[in-house]
Amino acid sequence: MWDFWLFPQSVSTIAPEVDRLTLVMTALSFLFAFPVAALIVYFAIKYRRGSPANRAGAIVTSHTLEATWIAVPLVLALGLYGWGARLYFDMYEIPPGGIDVYVVGKQWMWQFEHPSGQREINELHIPVNRPVRLTMISQDVIHSFYAPDFRIKRDVLPGRYTTLWFEATQTGSYHLFCAEYCGTQHSGMVGRIVVVEPRQYQEWLAQRPLDLAQPIPEQTGGQFGATQPMASAGETLFHTLGCSTCHLPNGRGTGPSLVGLYRSEVLLASGETVLADAQYIRRSIIDPNAQIVAGYPPIMPTYAGQVSEEELLRLVEYIRSLSAEEQRQEEPPSDGG
Ligand code: CUA
């Protein structure tokens, strides 16, 4: 119904609602702008200097008129605000049962890693009719993940995870852009999102086309190999970096146990309580003294500069895998075949 020629395709669950809101706002703007513009022109001609128009009976004050032009736009604006806010929350509250994909933006490419370990550049394979949660970070400057056919856009920042979710409603290949000027080849920082049937997606995930010694091809699209599941790559790092010597799973270590940590409430030495999300975990590795867990001494060294953004994401995924509840939630729903 809303698929006008001037709109990009609409292939996500939120796209129709975004279009409806955009159209209503545009229509209301015209509704106000047109009569005002037309009356300005009409009155300018009718009451121009020297015209014989009747100037008697000019209204000086009308409380009814004033109350009306305050009340009507107020109600309309609040209505749009409520509608927009609800849509905003729908867009940013991630529904359960989705799949996760980790995104690293860098000058000038998009790098994706699936929890199974499958990696790709400038191409993102996802299943249709399933929420996809993106956890995104930049390795250098600010980028912006923009997929107009899904009506999603969010900045990808250095030093901080941003998340975004969407659910594709149609298979196909769709544009992906960087929507934030990020240097010379910003306009070339494009890719595609490939939406496939769940069965094809599983087959795609099972592929192991390139061996892990293969260097990452620069500026090319496509898959560049799957090594091992992100959680087990993270576990290996956890041991090689020495994290496992302090963070014992039984809680008797020098540092707190990380079992069941993900998405739990953590009491800090400052008395504050924080949610242990991906951002908290990343910060605890890079800047460990910023948020000290209550009951533990501030002795953890920083790992800034020792781990890449990709490695940090694998550590996050490993710590996430230690939370049983999270694993249950990530069980794929049956897709009827
Ligand atoms: Cu990245 Cu523009």
DSSP 140-182: SS-EEEEEGGGTEEEEEBBTB-EEEEEEB-S-EEEEEEE-S--
Q: Do 135 and 100 contact (CB within 8 A), yes or no? A: yes
Q: Which residues line ligand 1 (CB under 6 A)?
A: 105, 108, 143, 178, 180-182, 186, 189
Length of the chain: 337
Q: How far apart are CA 318 and CA 235, in angstroms?
A: 6
Ligand 1 centroid distance, CA of 335 (Å): 36
HSE toward the beta carbon, residue 246, CA cutoff 13 A: 12
Q: Which residues pair with 158 in a beta bridge?
A: 138
DSSP symbol at 207: -
Ligand 1 mean position to 179 CA, how many Å? Answer: 6
Position 229 scores a pLDDT of 80
Which is nearest to 144 in space by CA: 191, 102, 180, 193?
180
- State the distance from the centre of ligand 1 to the C-alpha of 46, rounded, in angstroms: 53
User: Which residue, 256, 334, 252, is CA-closest to 296?
Assistant: 256
Q: Whose CA is nearest to atom 1 of ligand 1?
A: 143
**At 116, is the secondary structure helix, strand, or coil?**
coil
Q: Any bridge partners for residue 126, and if so which?
A: 195
Q: Which atom of ligand 1 is found nearest the CA of 108?
A: 1
Q: d(Cα 17, Cα 83) in Å, to the nearest integer?
A: 10
Q: Ligand 1 centre from 223 Cα, in Å?
A: 20
Q: What is the DSSP letter of 322?
A: T
Q: According to the model, what pLDDT value does residue 227 have?
A: 65
pLDDT of amino acid 181: 94
Angle CA(320)–CA(324)–CA(326) in degrees, nearest 5? 55
HSE of 320 in the Cβ direction (CA atoms, 13 Å)? 25
3 state DSSP class of 14: coil
C-beta separation of 147 from 177 below 8 A: yes
Mean pLDDT, consecutive 10-residue segments, the chain of 337 residues? 70 91 92 94 92 84 91 94 93 84 92 86 91 92 94 92 92 93 92 92 73 46 63 82 80 79 83 85 85 82 82 87 60 41
Nearest atom, ligand 1, residue 141 CA: 1
Query: What's the rounded Cα separation, in Å, for the pair 322 and 330?
Result: 13
Contact residues for 218 (Cβ-Cβ < 8 A; gap 6+):
109
How much distance in Å is there from the Cα of 64 to the middle of ligand 1?
52
